[in-house]
Homo-oligomer: A and B are copies of this chain.
């Protein structure tokens, strides 16, 4: 998962126009605090103190507390999704690509609890999330996943009698199902084992097979 980049430069530098220092400090502060407690119990005052800026500055850059969360999320998602897309494209064969995607996704949840919790828990109940850039990034990601599946249908490696969107739902649901409890109770996930298990079931189910001759 893009080890190169994380060593040279963290994902929050990955921008055309880098953030002004204050904005960057604020986002970093929220990231830090999310590692310590839930979003609801993080206060603007916490964030400001942690960032070494005044509370007012937060409202210069962000509409409100949730907007800050969404921007932090979008930034991370942009980093993760862009990286993953590139890596996946470098692989041959839709099934192998799916494997890679599933592993990457689970591995991301495991190695980045903060974002796992935000994505799986904090963000979904609020309407404004679905209007945010972060949600746009997620859509870009699921569109990419869909494209991989459709590619597999086109080249015959994935059965065509189940709608691609259903298959996508199955995969995303499976990942979620596998990672949610660990995320909630802060247990670690074994990404290899978990993705292997999931692939065993899912890939088995979606690949076409010889019709066994009846009778």
| Segment with Cβ contacts to B, from A4-12, A72-80, A177-185 | A177-185
What is the count of identical protomers in the complex?
4
Q: By the criterion of a CB under 8 Å from any partner CB, how many residues of chain A are at the interface?
A: 12
Min distance, Cβ A41 to any Cβ of chain B, angstroms: 8
A81→B135 CA distance, assembly (Å): 42
Q: Is the CB of B181 within 8 A of A177?
A: yes
Among B38, B41, B176, point to the contact of A181 (Cβ < 8 A).
B176
Q: Is the CB of A184 within 8 A of B40?
A: no
Interface residues of A in 159-192 (CB under 8 A from B): 176-177, 180-181, 184-185
12 A-B residue pairs with CB within 8 Å? A38-B125, A40-B40, A40-B41, A121-B184, A124-B185, A176-B181, A177-B181, A180-B180, A180-B181, A180-B184, A181-B181, A184-B184
Q: Which A positions have Cβ atoms within 8 angstroms of B?
A: 38, 40-41, 121, 124-125, 176-177, 180-181, 184-185
